[in-house]
Structure 1
């Protein structure tokens, strides 16, 4: 593991943190000022696992160091410490991309726990980057996927704006990366941002950057994602969730290619190709007044629809074997094989969580399947295997969107089926049909009251319970909770905000 870099002009702080981390078998390296950190990055080429920096030091600010480090290593977790526990510093730290804000004096065990969480996040990012580098771009033999591949090929020499539509978990970012890789901009950066995962009041600065003094806490100039993507591609995921007032600014950039940093007075030319993605029906959003029609037409120059996994069943076997190989490589174990009978069950399952759900399922099978060959009895309960029966019933099941009673349970399949199989197993082993009966009774009671928001009410309660349970199991670690639920970290962040679960 790479060392944790500690930057503080106070020798006692450096000493205390070094000793505490060494007791946890975490290597460290200390600096007394930001200049030495930047010199080490330039001259030695080393990159820390985590950077822990004071905010006020002779010879430079921790916020300036944060901005410079993040511009070069956006995935590096940076923890900002300060004895000045004021809101302005906290806002600046988070807007600059800090992993966490640690006021002094701090509780040493809590500081060590925070650093350990940052280390885990850094290691996950490294694994994700290795997987992206090692894995093939996209897999698919189904006609629907071949259409996507042909479209990527036709667009390879074009700079046109592309809109990617598809359900959550279907691989929209992979398509965006492939479009970038095979374009004339492949030597430039690929910058992705999920507009639904960033708080509304921070999104403008995140996209366009800000000038020093633009708002309270803006102590340094910060480049936004448009500037970071200069000469390359900017991927705007979940574009349907962009706040209405920001849509006007995005439209202006797409129209004339210029934008202003927040608080800035000089126009900046944007040499960026924009690729947007959404799982929503943007035409309906336009009709409902939630999305600008002129922006919709600007983004919708070329539309690529990514099919859900249930429409490309021919690819399930190939994807399953690929993910089993991938999981085994990550865990350092012998890859497991899957029988034709087990594959038949998977091919007849609707996979509401799409490719992401299949990937999570394969990871679970790598860990939990008892034998080297996976049989139908080894599959998790939501697949619907009953005894040695053939998967005819599963094949006859209607798609999740139209099913009155989906495979898992009424009203729950879109969320519950995305959860890791171990969670579904716990539910199955627990209250059985009791909780389903309670859900039906609650729905009936609400319907009898004449309510017209039953779906929203019960879905919010179900999602809140599911997320809170996962957070309790992971001691509040959101990324780990998202992993266990089988959803993305951006999704769990958005859900926590939507459901009001922020502490």
Structure 2
């Protein structure tokens, strides 16, 4: 028994000495690394060779702090995409342990599913966010290790592994500073800290009030949503009635985002024929189709590093919807006629006034695209829900008109403002702007804008009989049908003028179908768009 005890102690002492010797060799290998990249690759090799882990990944936060990347790999992971557990661990500032079988069924991130697809379902995945162990405490990256649950816990919870992890983090931080990365890391941490504070968001909302006017509760909630949307890289879906300012909100999201210095490309999907829309978005190479005399970049390529805004996306053809979905999921696209795919790093903002859920039921819009676009949904309030903002909007539109037309400053009276607050606005803010432009144009120089300068609901507040009386001497009427036709033509002409030739809005304000209005315009030879 005594001899056996001595043999056991000697064996343990020998194993301990061997482990310490291996630890010294590991530390020496790490210390000899000259760059952060070399250190990460060496760390993974040691964990596989000496620690016995079969699956190891070491990811680093790139220079601008927006991506987690792997050395010698093209794939990048968005730090704001919380669906991926690596990004979630960084933002939560804590390690995670996942059972792979459960993770495969619950987590829907395609890159994560691809990376762990071939790993045994009974394994566990340990995710360790790595942070500098000095006074700066900047984030470095993520270490992910998978293996048998018992083996994983035994090794990773040991003091030796904690010492190994500490050494890696200290060396990584030192090498980062030596290679010029430290200043970028510190700047990133300071920027993220400022962005996430309440004061920073309040400041951004105040700056945004210059472009998104109003102090109502509805508009303040909207500005708060825009700030939150700008903090992420998620796809944004703007919904709301026509004329509520979706284009202005899209530009604000871009301006206050990390991509604010990048390009902002916009297109109205309803304004371009289906045959040309694909080329506008994806571009084409020379000879791709008849008339393609030279290659041309599409808006997706032009928006690389910035934002692409697709207005009226509800009118996009189904075939293009499928191609757009692939771009959103993979970041890759193929120009017309090209043989190889290309990559674009862009943020997508889409807008529509149409009820997309109803279009999905009618099989005119893809449900998978709708859910992909709606990662960050924003609904813009109609003007009737923010009537308190009408005076501020009206005065801003007056100033804009005077600046644009070179007129002396105009003032709108309180009586005119009261009349504006009592109106209905099917065209929302756009209708209010057109109304103010009309009133400014009708106001003589040097006079305030009063109620008489404002048209009534639509064009005139007069009754039909008053309008006929005002324009025609009723005693001279000899042909009633002709007089009615002339009055009807006058009303339609003025209504089209008011809505800048938009037959849809004009028809809605008159209470007739658009097709009926178009027929009357053709009969009366009225010039309209």
Per the alignment, in what secondary structure is the counterpart of residue 248 of structure 1?
A: helix
Q: Which has the larger radius of gyration?
A: 2
Equivalent residue number for residue 144 of structure 1: 218
Q: Distance in 2 between matches of 1:465 and 1:191?
A: 40
**Residue 324 of structure 1, CA deviation:** 0.5
CA–CA separation in structure 2 for the residues paired with 1:386 and 1:152 = 42
Q: CA deviation at 1:253?
A: 0.5
Q: Name the SS of the counterpart of 1:360 in structure 2.
A: helix
Structure 1 segment 54-453 matched on structure 2, within 5 A: 136-370=210-444, 372-382=447-457, 385=461, 419-420=497-498
**How many Å separate the matches in 2 of 1:381 and 1:469?**
22
TM-score by length of 2: 0.51
Unaligned segments of structure 2, at least 5 residues: 1-208, 464-486
- Number of equivalent positions: 291
Pair 330,298 (structure 1): closer, same or farther in 2 beyond 3 Å:
same
Change in Cα spacing, 1:157 to 1:343, as seen in structure 2 (3 Å) is same
Report if the CA contact (8 A) 1:376-1:385 is conserved: no
Change (3 A) 1:346 1:258: same
Task: Give the deviation of 1:464 after TM superposition.
Answer: 6.3
Aligned-CA RMSD value: 3.4
Which residue number in structure 1 is paired with residue 526 of structure 2? Answer: 469
Q: How many Å separate the matches in 1 of 2:492 and 2:215?
A: 26
Contact 1:159 1:273 in 2 (8 A): yes
Counterpart-to-counterpart distance in 2, 1:418 and 1:314:
28
Gaps of 5+ in 1: 1-134, 388-408, 425-434, 444-454, 472-491, 493-503
- For the Cα contact (< 8 Å) 1:188–1:232, is it kept in 2? yes
Deviation, 1:469, is 2.8
Q: Which moved more, 1:371-380 or 1:241-250?
A: 371-380
Normalising by structure 1, report the TM-score: 0.53
Deviations 1:464-483 (A, max 9, x none): 679x7345xxxxxxxxxxxx
In structure 2, relative to structure 1, the CA distance for the partners of 1:189 and 1:340 (3 Å cut) is same
Paired with 1:378 and 1:456, the residues of 2 have a C-alpha distance of 28
SS at the partner of 1:234? strand
Looking at structure 2, the residues matched to 275 and 423 of structure 1 have their Cα atoms a distance apart, in angstroms, of 28
Given that residues 438 and 454 in structure 2 are in contact (C-alpha distance below 8 angstroms), is that contact kept between their aligned partners in structure 1? no
Per the TM alignment, residue 378 of structure 1 is displaced from its structure 2 partner at its CA by 2.0
Residues 272-319 of structure 1, C-alpha deviations (whole Å, 9 max, x = no match): 100000010000000001001111111111111111112110111001
- Determine the C-alpha separation between the residues in 2 that align with 1:415 and 1:169: 22
